């Protein structure tokens, strides 16, 4: 017996839909994990300087926040 009817008065999804959604999510995450592992060396080669772009973007964002709070 499922506890779902006791937790939600009028459930939006049936028990089968929730089961399918949960299984789909688990399988999707597993497939994405293995595909990432397969392409990891290629990503390391092609996207070497990406972390510096992220650092630059984040520092620019922090600079904008500092300017905003200093000018108030």
pLDDT tens digits along 18-56:
999 999 999 999 999 999 999 988 888 888 889 999 999
Q: Is residue 4 part of a domain?
A: no
In a domain, 32, yes or no: yes
Separation of alpha carbons 39 and 51, rounded Å: 18
Q: Considering its fold, how many domains does the chain have in total? A: 1
Query: Which residues form the domain of 51?
Result: 12-70
Residue 8 pLDDT class (50, 70, 90 cuts): low
pLDDT at site 61? 97
Assess if residue 50 is contained within a domain: yes
* 2 in a structural domain: no
Average confidence (pLDDT) over 1-5? 58
Predicted confidence at residue 35, as pLDDT, reads 94
- 5 Cβ contact list (under 8 Å, min separation 6): 11
Q: Residue 72: what pLDDT?
A: 82
Both tokens of residue 56? Answer: 């630059």
For residue 71, the 8-state DSSP code is -
Half-sphere CA count of 38, side-chain side, radius 13 A: 6
């Amino acid at each position: 017996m499922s506890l779902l009817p006791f937790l939600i008065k009028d459930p939006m999804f049936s028990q089968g839909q929730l089961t399918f959604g949960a299984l789909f999510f688990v399988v999707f995450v597993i497939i994405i994990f293995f595909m990432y592992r397969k392409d990891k060396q290629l990503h390391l080669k092609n996207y070497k300087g990406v972390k510096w772009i992220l650092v630059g973007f984040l520092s620019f964002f922090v600079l904008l926040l500092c300017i905003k709070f200093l000018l108030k």
